[in-house]
Each structure stands twice: as structure tokens, then as C-alpha cells.
């Protein structure tokens, strides 16, 4: 059996590539996606969608009422923002904006979203319910999903199911990751300010050295995952920045450590937060310093609900073959679509975009690129899954 929507999606491939390359050449940072949003809004309007712009600043929502009776609404999400990365690829569609690049593949997501919008509009008469397209700004750490939710994204109509995807340069073209449960991690930002007593580098006895204390804290924090976390569980405590001191002969009074904490399960998240506070303040006290620990809650874990995931799995199997679906992989990366999935049952999946060394460069790397043959695959999977969700199969 050929997959529903696949041949139609393949026929759109040149259009999808053109959209993706145009966006790639004109990347826009989070909450600045004005050109991208205008293109999306124009295309959705031309296809007959009811379009709302300015949702969550630069977000766009498209509504399509199907031609068959049915009360369900299915939300499909595509993020639009680029990154502050300077592109190093030597390609005809290279970024035209110095220092800004679609280095995570959100240009591909918008192109897939336009493709999905096109095919679902073409099949409008067969749709028993409402399609709600979410073109989201500012996924990269700025809270675009929450901004859209705050602007009423999940009301009138309220979605019954939500689906989303990400291209993945660590997965082969023609493969996908579709799995229930926590697929991406909760991500929280950590700041520790160590306060000691500054002084002359020749007289350490008269000081409390914030550089030395901060260094002990960095090392001691690594014992949390190694010695406190159950070996069956997964977590990360990373210190990525250590800011202290200005001169070799001055003992620093303060040091600031910045890091990130990742977890999949709420009890693990709670454990990591508690131990980070205990270890940092305890180590500081040992040396007569203080440590002020601030943990800023970032995104929750991205948790896929069982039934929508089954629908997505079957739609993906029809397009790529069940042999090409990984049902166990998960990543300690974070994803703000988790804010939608915390409120609406749904599922999020990875579609492989790597076909050689070039398209295998990591996300956020200046040489990131995709094999564009994944675009029609993503379109076909989402269209088929959305139709089945409208039929109530995800409940
Ligand atoms: Zn990213
Ligand atoms: Zn991304």
C-alpha cells in the first residue's frame, strides 16, 4: 500500500525546497520573524485559511474548517526562528544575513508546514473537523510557545491533539524517532554567585578566595549525577561559564558560575535542583564563603502521550517503513513545544535529515544543513496523522 499523501507531497517537493531555501537565505532571530510570518500568513490566506497574526508577538495561527461534520481540532506546530550563528556553508542558498543562520532547521519546519497547509486545504472536503496550524516564533530559549499560549493559542477552538516535528541531523534520511513518554529533557538555567573576600594575591591568608571556592563547587557538582542520581535515571549538570577575577595578583572577591540542568522525570529534576543548592552552599560554607544559587525554570520535558504517538507511529511507518523507526531514542536537548504537550495530549517526533557527512553536521553548528528529501516525508506523515486524529483515533 502506498502511503496516503506521499505522492502528493513528493509532487510539491520543488515548492517546498524553494520555500525552505528562501527562508534559509533570510533567517530571523526569535521574536523578529516578521518576514517569515508575513510569508506564512500570505500563503495560508491564499489557501483559504483563517489567519491570525501577531500571536505571541510574531506567531501566526491558521485555521481550516473541514468539509465533513466533526468536532475535533488538531494542532500542528512549526517553529520559525533562526540562531545567532554565522553560516559557513558554501551553498547557493547561504544566509544573506551575517551572524544569523537557520542552524537548527526551523526553515525546513516552516516549509513542511506550508506543505501540510497546502495538502490539507486541497483535501478540505474530506476533513471531519478543524486544523489549527501553529507557526511559532522564538523556540530557541526565548519562550515563543508560552507567548502564543498566553495569547490564546489553545482557546477557540481548543485543540484535542497536538503534533510537532523536528528535523534531525543525527538520524539518517528515511528514518524517524517516534516514541511515547519523555523524549526531550527539561532544561533549567543555573547561576551561582560565590562571595568571598578579595585581597592581595601575596596574602591569601587575609582573603576568602572566590576563584578557589568556585572551582571546588564546579568539581563537587559533578558528584551529583555520579553519586546521587539513581543509575537508571538520566540527568545533566553542566557549568558552562566561570566568570571571576581580573588580575593575576588580586584574589577575587566574587565568582559567578553559569550552567544548565537537564532531566526527564520531575523527581529527578527536584533531586538535581536540591543537590545543586546543597552542594554549592555547603562547599562555600566549608571555605568561609557564601553561594547564592538561582535556578531559573526553563522548559519542561517533552512528553508524548501514548495514543497520539501510536497514530504518529503508524503514519510514519506507512511513509518510511516500520523498520526505519527508532522507538527508544531520547535526547537531553530541550524543546519548548513541551509547553503545548503539557496542556494538550499529543506527540512530537524526529525525522532524519542526514544523508552524508555534510548533512550530518550537528544542530547549531555553522555548517548545519539538511537533505531536503526529508521535506515531503514530513508533510506526508503529518497530513496522514492529522487526518486520523480528526477521526478520533488518538483518543
Ligand atoms: Zn535548536
Ligand atoms: Zn530546533
Residue-wise pLDDT for 273-327, tens only, equals: 999 999 999 999 999 999 999 999 999 999 999 999 999 999 999 999 999 999 9
What is the overall mean pLDDT for the chain? 97
Centre of ligand 2 from the C-alpha of residue 300, in Å? 15
What confidence score (pLDDT) does residue 133 get? 98
Centre of ligand 2 from the C-alpha of residue 239, in Å? 22
Q: Where are the domains of the chain?
A: 6-183+301-390, 186-299
In b/e form, how buried is each residue of 292-316, taking b as 16+ CB within 10 angstroms? ebebeebbbbbbbbebbbbbbbbbb
Centre of ligand 2 from the C-alpha of residue 113, in Å? 15
What confidence score (pLDDT) does residue 222 get? 98
CATH number of 186-299: 3.30.70.360
Q: How confident is the model at residue 185 (pLDDT cuts 50, 70, 90)?
A: very high
Per residue, the 3-state secondary structure of 48-87, as one string, reads CCEEEEEECCCEEEEEEECCCCCCEEEEEEEECCCECCCC
| Predicted confidence (pLDDT) per residue in 327-382, tens digit | 999 999 999 999 999 999 999 999 999 999 999 999 999 999 999 999 999 999 99
DSSP structure class, residue 208: B
Q: Considering Cα of 32, then 34, then 35, then 39, what sign does the dihedral take?
A: positive
Q: Where are the beta strands (DSSP E) in the chain?
A: 50-55, 59-65, 72-79, 129-136, 161-172, 176-177, 181-184, 186-195, 199-200, 235-244, 250-251, 254-263, 290-299, 302-304, 325-326, 346-354
Q: How confident is the model at residue 3 (pLDDT cuts 50, 70, 90)?
A: confident
Residue 208 CA to residue 186 CA, distance in Å, equals 35
What confidence score (pLDDT) does residue 368 get? 98
Centre of ligand 2 from the C-alpha of residue 299, in Å? 13
**CATH entry 3.40.630.10 includes domain 6-183+301-390:** yes
What confidence score (pLDDT) does residue 167 get? 98
Residue 352 CA to residue 374 CA, distance in Å, equals 7
Q: Pick the ligand that lies closest to the CA of residue 77.
A: 2
CB-CB contact of 313 with 176 (8 Å): no
Q: Pick the ligand that lies closest to the CA of residue 85.
A: 1
What confidence score (pLDDT) does residue 70 get? 84
Centre of ligand 2 from the C-alpha of residue 5, in Å? 25
Q: How confident is the model at residue 16 (pLDDT cuts 50, 70, 90)?
A: very high
Centre of ligand 1 from the C-alpha of residue 351, in Å? 14
- Percent of the chain residues past pLDDT 70, beyond the cut: 99
Q: Pick the ligand that lies closest to the CA of residue 168.
A: 2
Residues labelled as active-site residues: 81, 139
Peptide bond before 157: cis, by omega within 30 degrees of 0?
yes
Q: How confident is the model at residue 47 (pLDDT cuts 50, 70, 90)?
A: very high
CB-CB contact of 64 with 123 (8 Å): no
In the predicted model, is pLDDT for residue 39 greater than 90?
A: yes
Q: Pick the ligand that lies closest to the CA of residue 141.
A: 1
Alpha helical stretches, state H, 224-337: 266-286, 306-320
pTM score, whole prediction: 0.94
What confidence score (pLDDT) does residue 2 get? 63
In the predicted model, is pLDDT for residue 4 greater than 90?
A: no
Centre of ligand 2 from the C-alpha of residue 168, in Å? 9
CB-CB contact of 164 with 177 (8 Å): no
| Predicted confidence (pLDDT) per residue in 65-104, tens digit | 999 988 899 999 999 999 999 999 999 999 999 999 999 9
Q: Pick the ligand that lies closest to the CA of residue 140.
A: 1
Centre of ligand 1 from the C-alpha of residue 16, in Å? 21
Dihedral pair phi/psi, residue 125, rounded to 5° = -65, -20
| Predicted confidence (pLDDT) per residue in 226-279, tens digit | 999 999 999 999 999 999 999 999 999 999 999 999 999 999 999 999 999 999
| Predicted confidence (pLDDT) per residue in 149-161, tens digit | 999 999 999 999 9
Amino acid at each position: 500500500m502506498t502511503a496516503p499523501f506521499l505522492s502528493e507531497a513528493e509532487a510539491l517537493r520543488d515548492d517546498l525546497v524553494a520555500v525552505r531555501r528562501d527562508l534559509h537565505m533570510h533567517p530571523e532571530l526569535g521574536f523578529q520573524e516578521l518576514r517569515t510570518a508575513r510569508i506564512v500568513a500570505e500563503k495560508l490566506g491564499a489557501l483559504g485559511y483563517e489567519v491570525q497574526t501577531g500571536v505571541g508577538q510574531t506567531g501566526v495561527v491558521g485555521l481550516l474548517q473541514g468539509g465533513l461534520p466533526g468536532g475535533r481540532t488538531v494542532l500542528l506546530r512549526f517553529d520559525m526562528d533562526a540562531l545567532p550563528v554565522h553560516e559557513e556553508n558554501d551553498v547557493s542558498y547561504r544566509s544573506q544575513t551575517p551572524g544569523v543562520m537557520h542552524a537548527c532547521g526551523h526553515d525546513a519546519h516552516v516549509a513542511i508546514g506550508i506543505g501540510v497547509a497546502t495538502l490539507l486545504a486541497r483535501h478540505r472536503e474530506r476533513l471531519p473537523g478543524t486544523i489549527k496550524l501553529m507557526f511559532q516564533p522564538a523556540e530557541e530559549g526565548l519562550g515563543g510557545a508560552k507567548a502564543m499560549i498566553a495569547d490564546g493559542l489553545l482557546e477557540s477552538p481548543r485543540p484535542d491533539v497536538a503534533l510537532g516535528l523536528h528535523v534531525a541531523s543525527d538520524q539518517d534520511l528515511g528514518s524517524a524517532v517516534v516514541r511515547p513518554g519523555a523524549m526531550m529533557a527539561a532544561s533549567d538555567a543555573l547561576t551561582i554567585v560565590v562571595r568571598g573576600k578579595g585581597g592581595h594575591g601575596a596574602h591569601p591568608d587575609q582573603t576568602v578566595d572566590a576563584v578557589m571556592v568556585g572551582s571546588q563547587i564546579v568539581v563537587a557538582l559533578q558528584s551529583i549525577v555520579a553519586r546521587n542520581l539513581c543509575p537508571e535515571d538520566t540527568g545533566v549538570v553542566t557549568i558552562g561559564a566561570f566568570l571571576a577575577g581580573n588580575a593575576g595578583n588580586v584574589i577575587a572577591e566574587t565568582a559567578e558560575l553559569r550552567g544548565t540542568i537537564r532531566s526527564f522525570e520531575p523527581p529527578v529534576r527536584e533531586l538535581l535542583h536540591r543537590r545543586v543548592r546543597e552542594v554549592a552552599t555547603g562547599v562555600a560554607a566549608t571555605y568561609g564563603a557564601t553561594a547564592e544559587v538561582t535556578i531559573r525554570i526553563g522548559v519542561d520535558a517533552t512528553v508524548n502521550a501514548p495514543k497520539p504517538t501510536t497514530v504518529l507511529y503508524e503514519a510514519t511507518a506507512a511513509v518510511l517503513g516500520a523498520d526505519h523507526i527508532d522507538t527508544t531514542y531520547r535526547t537531553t536537548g530541550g524543546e519548548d513545544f513541551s509547553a503545548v504537550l503539557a496542556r494538550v495530549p499529543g506527540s512530537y517526533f524526529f525525522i532524519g535529515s542526514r544523508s552524508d557527512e555534510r548533512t550530518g553536521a550537528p544542530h547549531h553548528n555553522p555548517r548545519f544543513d539538511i537533505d531536503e528529501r526529508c521535506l515531503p516525508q514530513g508533510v506526508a506523515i503529518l497530513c496522514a496523522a492529522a487526518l486520523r486524529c480528526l477521526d478520533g483515533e488518538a483518543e
